[in-house]
A and B are shown apart, each in its own frame.
Chain A
Amino acid sequence: MNKTKTGVLGALTALMLSTSASVADTVKIAFIDPLSGPFAATGENAFHLFQYAVDAVVNDQGGVLDGDTFEIVGLDNKISATETLIHLQTAIDDGVRYIVQGQSSGVAAALIDAINKHNRRNPDQQVLFLNYAAIDPALTNEACSFWHFSFDANSDLKMDALTDVIAENPDLTSAYLINQDYSFGRAVAASATSMLADKRPDITIAGDEVHPIGQVKDFTPYARKIVSSGADFVITGAWGADMYGLGTSLIANGFTGPIYTYYAAASGITAGFGEAGKGSLFILAEGQTNPPASEEAEQYVAGFKEAFPGENFTLARTSNVIRMLAAAINEAGTATDVVAVANALEGLEIENPFGGTLYMRPDNHQVIQDVHVMAHTDDGVTNSLDGSPYGLLVSDSVVAAGRDSATTCEMDRP
């Protein structure tokens, strides 16, 4: 909410005047994600995390190169591809060379496509896309791009970690896969099916289905189906209101097994589940905060909570984006030549205060990091969410998940 607000007159003049050329000592980063509408809560939280990360990781530590500072600009795309492309154009005109975005893989794919075209057509204004949350595996496989870097473990890597954990647990014998009907949901289901078959052939898939995204008003029928299928665990990639509806229906209608999810935390979901979700909900994520992975991480979380009281600290990877970008800029010796920065990012490996290391795979631009299975609980939680006593406690970890996994990425390099 630190957006500068100027009058309408100022706005009109801003429209008229073409602002050109970035200021030499500021590295501008555009954050293009929903800041209004149904997904605003997540978008806004992420924006604040980035604001904090920029200050804590770079600006307060003396900046990059010769004291250049980072500046992050929030642009509201209302989770629409069209709005995103308009903002991309505005941002580039304003001298931005780095874009961060993450909500919705659909928007991310549109952004990659647009940036590919833009960079080819405007070699003097090239930009990099640092994706902090869109995890459709296509983005680092068939749709990969030299200009795109993925900082969250993609859904295949997370599923790889999850199935490793499931494989160790002999009590789990029957799975139910329920996902939203779109490419990411289908990718989750497909990878779960193939990896379970690979690692635990004895596990049966009691059900594998997709439901329309954002359209289901009452998840009770799905919950009934899942309960009566006899499945003893559920895997879902659903998010937002769908995740909450599905989870509460499952628990209310008598499902007692673990529910493995990608997104059942924060944005009111953790508080909404409360006691009911304890022992049932598990989330796959990177970025360990409970228990704190290091003193530095603990201080970082505390610092964020001081700067933005009442807000959730999730998405530890927002700091990774800034940390790796700063390291790459320092290595490349320039912030304006994004090809050099991209080349420096490739293969970069740094320590992650939230546990393990961060390694940018050069062949598909996917960050390799530790992936955890976290339980929704109030025991031993220091970083709690939604103002409730509940938070995410790491129960299992897979170190450097999927470091040598296969990729179909064939990158066009400049």
Chain B
Amino acid sequence: MTDTTHSFSRPFGISLRTVMPWLVATIVLLLLPFVFSANSTITVMNQMAITIIFALAYNMLLGQGGMLSFGHAVFMGIGGVFAVHVMSYVEVFGAPLPLPLLPIFGGIAGLIFACIIGSFSTRQAGTVFAMISLGVGELIAACSLIFVAFFGGETGVSADRTYGLPVFGVEFLRQSEVYYLIAGWLLLSVLLMYLYTRTPMGRMANAVRDNPERAEFLGYSARWVRFYSFIFSGFFAGIAGGLFALNYEIMTTENMSLVQSGKILLITFLGGMGFFVGPIIGAIVFTLLTTVLSRYTELGALYIGTIFVLTVMYCPRGLAGLLMMHEPAYRLGKLRLLLAPYLKLVIPGTVAVLGSAAVFEMLFHVRHATPGQHEMGLFGITFDSHSPFAWVIAIGGTLAAMVITRKLIPQINDAWHDANTVEGGAK
């Protein structure tokens, strides 16, 4: 486990440097809908924002608290279902609740439920915690089909967000209005979760993760520290659930399933669980990847599985880890030394990746396309998937690109060494 926090300086000191990222984030979030104005793109961005909150909440457990959970989707699910019930209560009884406050109800439901589960599951960390979370996850997922009155069975529960009180004349009819609401909650939640890592409580969670005995000697109960991490994580997962309910206006049993819990684990790991920004990167990349892949290929799950296995094997600190590797070079002001070798790598690397994908696509086409259907389209080119010529180009090109990529690796290593040592690259 790597440390989550890098700079221990001035936990609450406010300076331009600490405020800058937040200002930039706010401006970017404000401007995004003007750049991407299609409703479907906004839907994807909403999905991304919700996943970011959920992944960060999950990382409160995994990255900061060292607790591996297989059933965290349950808290998001319950938060969302509760929020839907609140929404329909507003719809039916006309309760005076402005819609933007709805996610709080989700959060509270997540918190309360986390208190119940956490009361016994956080007594131990490690495998016991992991297996209890798996068991609870399966139980709740099964209960969501049995207790129809609350969970709505397989059709789920749904409500209409537009029946709430209009806020300053906004009725949340349009996707972009919902986007700003979600973006606001995103900023707020991320800020709160970031501040949490700076509190003594957040620090103690790290201490308990790394060495529970020592933490106990300092006078902290490891169990209570785990419990607090757990319920805060449940709270933010519930917020994410509330936002999900608000965005889609429906919660179904799939939101609570083991698949969802596994997905958030993968996202967090892909982004890098050792860094605060890790889950954010993971959520953005994963959402983009699935959206793009599901649009253009049927082998999306195969690629995603491959990416995960490769990430675990070659870059276990995740994408954020990959970025953070460059910090020493950045501090030495030598990042530019890496630029040229990286640029050289871009073309052969891209060709190698796309080429391997092309080989898979062609293999899949030959095996599973309608017999007689030889014509396939790939990267905008239409060709005959059975012609040896196409195969030679695909396999040959891929292999050549791989060989070139491999040849370039010593150069990268040299440049890396130069960039990360004070005297390197001076000549």
Q: Is the CB of B380 within 8 A of A117?
A: no
- Residue of A6, A7, A82 near B248 (CB, 8 A) is A82
Q: In the complex, which residue of chain B has the Cβ closest to the Cβ of A104? A: B154
- What string of 1s and 0s marks CB contacts (under 8 Å) between B368-379 and chain A? 111111001111
Q: In the complex, which residue of chain B has the Cβ closest to the Cβ of A40? A: B298
Q: Is B201 an interface residue (CB 8 A)?
A: no
Q: Is the CB of B368 within 8 A of A1?
A: yes
Cβ of B171 to closest chain A Cβ, rounded Å: 9
Residues of A within 8 A of B365 (CB): 1
Q: Is the CB of A106 within 8 A of B154?
A: yes
- What string of 1s and 0s marks CB contacts (under 8 Å) between B128-153 and chain A? 00000000000000100110000001
Cβ of A103 to closest chain B Cβ, rounded Å: 12
Residues of B within 8 A of A110 (CB): 155-156, 158, 250, 252
- Residue of B35, B39, B173, B368 near A92 (CB, 8 A) is B39
Q: Is the CB of B292 within 8 A of A12?
A: yes
Contacts A15-B292, A92-B39 given: A183-B250 contact, CB under 8 Å? Answer: no
Q: Is B36 an interface residue (CB 8 A)?
A: yes
Residues of A within 8 A of B41 (CB): 15-16, 18
Residues of B within 8 A of A90 (CB): 40, 43
Q: In the complex, which residue of chain B has the Cβ closest to the Cβ of A215? A: B142
Residues of chain B in range 263-321 having any CB-CB distance to chain A below 8 Å: 291-292, 294-298, 300-301
Complex Cα gap A11–B154 (Å): 33
Number of A-B contacts (CB under 8 A): 139
Q: Is the CB of B36 within 8 A of A85?
A: no
Which of A239-247, A277-285, A304-312, A380-388 touches B?
A304-312
Contacts A4-B377, A212-B142 given: A86-B44 contact, CB under 8 Å? Answer: yes
Residues of B within 8 A of A253 (CB): none
- What string of 1s and 0s marks CB contacts (under 8 Å) between A26-45 and chain B? 00000000011100000000
Q: Is A413 an interface residue (CB 8 A)?
A: no
- What string of 1s and 0s marks CB contacts (under 8 Å) between B35-52 and chain A? 111111101100100000
Complex Cα gap A274–B390 (Å): 41
Q: Is the CB of B370 within 8 A of A308?
A: yes
Cβ of B27 to closest chain A Cβ, rounded Å: 19
Residues of B within 8 A of A114 (CB): 249-250
Q: Is B354 an interface residue (CB 8 A)?
A: yes
Residues of B within 8 A of A307 (CB): 370
Q: Is the CB of B300 within 8 A of A36?
A: yes
Residues of A within 8 A of B294 (CB): 76, 83
- Residue of B36, B39, B173, B379 near A16 (CB, 8 A) is B36
Residues of chain A in range 47-106 having any CB-CB distance to chain B below 8 Å: 48, 76, 80-83, 85-86, 89-90, 92-94, 104-106
Residues of B within 8 A of A308 (CB): 370
Q: Is A181 an interface residue (CB 8 A)?
A: yes
Residues of A within 8 A of B40 (CB): 86, 89-90, 92-94
Cβ of B21 to closest chain A Cβ, rounded Å: 24
Contacts A16-B36, A82-B248, A117-B249 given: A11-B162 contact, CB under 8 Å? Answer: no
Residues of B within 8 A of A4 (CB): 296, 377
Contacts A10-B380, A81-B156, A85-B248 given: A19-B38 contact, CB under 8 Å? Answer: yes
Q: Is B254 an interface residue (CB 8 A)?
A: yes
Q: How large is the interface on B (under 10, 10 to 19, 20 to 34, 35 or more residues)?
A: 35 or more
- Residue of A2, A37, A183 near B153 (CB, 8 A) is A183
The total of chain A residues at the interface (CB under 8 A) is 54
Q: Is B160 an interface residue (CB 8 A)?
A: yes
Residues of A within 8 A of B145 (CB): 181-182, 212-213
Q: Is the CB of A5 within 8 A of B296?
A: yes
Residues of chain B in range 25-78 having any CB-CB distance to chain A below 8 Å: 35-41, 43-44, 47
Complex Cα gap A214–B259 (Å): 14
Q: Is B418 an interface residue (CB 8 A)?
A: no
- Residue of B38, B252, B292, B377 near A81 (CB, 8 A) is B252
Q: Is the CB of B155 within 8 A of A183?
A: yes
Q: Is the CB of B298 within 8 A of A1?
A: yes
Complex Cα gap A15–B40 (Å): 8
Q: Is the CB of A5 within 8 A of B377?
A: yes
Q: Is B255 an interface residue (CB 8 A)?
A: yes
- Residue of A1, A93, A117, A182 near B38 (CB, 8 A) is A93
Residues of chain B in range 163-184 having any CB-CB distance to chain A below 8 Å: 173-175
Q: Is B361 an interface residue (CB 8 A)?
A: yes
Q: Is A217 an interface residue (CB 8 A)?
A: no
Cβ of A4 to closest chain B Cβ, rounded Å: 5
Residues of B within 8 A of A37 (CB): 301
Residues of A within 8 A of B300 (CB): 36
Contacts A81-B254, A215-B142 given: A182-B154 contact, CB under 8 Å? Answer: yes
Q: Is the CB of A117 within 8 A of B298?
A: no
Residues of B within 8 A of A411 (CB): none
Contacts A12-B292, A121-B162, A213-B145 given: A18-B155 contact, CB under 8 Å? Answer: no
* Max count, chain A CB within 10 A of own CB: residue among B296, B365, B378, B380: B296
Q: Is the CB of A113 within 8 A of B296?
A: no
Q: Is A109 an interface residue (CB 8 A)?
A: yes
Residues of chain B in range 345-395 having any CB-CB distance to chain A below 8 Å: 354, 361, 365, 368-373, 376-380
Q: In the complex, which residue of chain A has the Cβ closest to the Cβ of B43? A: A89
Residues of B within 8 A of A5 (CB): 296-297, 361, 376-379
Complex Cα gap A187–B254 (Å): 21
Residues of B within 8 A of A2 (CB): 373
Complex Cα gap A86–B43 (Å): 7
Q: In the complex, which residue of chain B has the Cβ closest to the Cβ of A79? A: B254
Q: Is A406 an interface residue (CB 8 A)?
A: no
Q: Is the CB of A35 within 8 A of B153?
A: no
Residues of B within 8 A of A81 (CB): 156, 248, 250, 252, 254
Residues of B within 8 A of A14 (CB): 295
- What string of 1s and 0s marks CB contacts (under 8 Å) between B225-244 and chain A? 00000000000000000000
Query: 15 A–B contact pairs at CB < 8 A?
Result: A4-B296, A6-B380, A11-B292, A15-B36, A16-B36, A20-B38, A36-B298, A89-B43, A92-B40, A105-B154, A106-B154, A106-B156, A110-B156, A182-B145, A182-B154
Interface residues of B (CB under 8 A from A): 35-41, 43-44, 47, 142, 145-146, 153-156, 158, 160, 162, 173-175, 248-250, 252, 254-255, 291-292, 294-298, 300-301, 354, 361, 365, 368-373, 376-380
Interface residues of A (CB under 8 A from B): 1-8, 10-12, 14-20, 35-37, 48, 76, 80-83, 85-86, 89-90, 92-94, 104-106, 109-110, 113-114, 117, 121, 181-183, 212-213, 215, 307-311
- With A90-B40, A310-B370 given, name 13 new contacts (CB 8 A): A1-B365, A1-B369, A5-B378, A10-B380, A81-B156, A82-B254, A90-B43, A106-B252, A110-B156, A113-B158, A113-B250, A121-B162, A212-B142
